[in-house]
Amino acid sequence: MRGIADSELKSFVAVIVMAASCLTLGCSSNAAPSDLTAITASVLISQRWSRDELNHFAVSFHSDDLIECGVKADLWKLVEVTERGYTWTTYQLTPKGSKILFAIDLKGSGKGHEITIRGPYRFEITNIAPGSDPDTRRVDFRWEIDWDKAPPDLKTCLPKFELSGYEVATFKLSGLDWKFVSYSKPDDASAPAGATPVAVQLP
């Protein structure tokens, strides 16, 4: 019986302490959410990318050797496609290539190839600004392929200097937590002046 009484006493004391904390500091239900920081934004972006979400970025460039290199490396192959009575040839990713790249649109002229890559990436936050609504934020960041961790076949065929870009991520407040929800196109493909970058590398 004494053990039960002691347990009840401890529970009562715990309730009193929690109530006192609410009166002194304010209960958590009334706590104001903290603003989005570069560190928090970087962590949330990295979490989505680690689940293979929102990590497919397209790059366009010219190359006379890209098609042949990718065929030799078994990244893509020329296939014949028939649809609605029309037949044409196009390059499609092989099973091996699909593990490295997300999509391709290759041009026989060598001009305007479009490659959608999967990573791995390095990135830095360059600016955080209020969004269109009070509970949203626009996060500008620059990304580039993590060349040290990139698959060897990707490095053989794709030029490193082309595998980078700028994106604007939209974050929305949900309760007390920020959520990374989508991308929008940058208004300007240059880092904002005076911004303090925060470099984060995915594990």
For 17-28, the pLDDT digits (tens) are 444 445 444 455
Cβ atoms within 10 A of the Cβ of 202, count? 17
For 134-187, the pLDDT digits (tens) are 999 999 999 999 999 999 989 999 989 999 999 999 999 998 999 999 998 665
Q: Please say if the pLDDT value at position 76 is more than 60.
A: yes
HSE, CB side, 13 Å, CA atoms: give it for residue 139: 29
pLDDT at 123: 95
Please state, in angstroms and as integers, the Cα–Cα distance from residue 11 to each residue in 7, 8, 23, 111, 202, following that order.
6, 5, 19, 73, 44
Q: Please say if the pLDDT value at position 194 is more than 50.
A: no
Torsion of CA 32, 36, 41, 44, to 10 degrees: 20
- 91 vs 76: CA distance, rounded Å: 6
For 94-146, the pLDDT digits (tens) are 999 999 999 999 988 888 899 999 999 999 999 999 988 899 999 999 999 99
Q: Please say if the pLDDT value at position 43 is more than 90.
A: yes
Please state, in angstroms and as integers, the Cα–Cα distance from residue 148 to each residue in 120, 144, 201, following that order.
9, 11, 11
Amino acid 71 reads: V
E strand spans, 97-153:
101-105, 113-117, 121-130, 136-145
pLDDT at 132: 87
What lies within 8 Å, CB to CB, of 133 at 6+ separation is 172
- 70 vs 76: CA distance, rounded Å: 6
pLDDT at 30: 62
Lowest-confidence segment of 46-60, 149-163, 182-196 by average pLDDT: 182-196
pLDDT at 186: 62
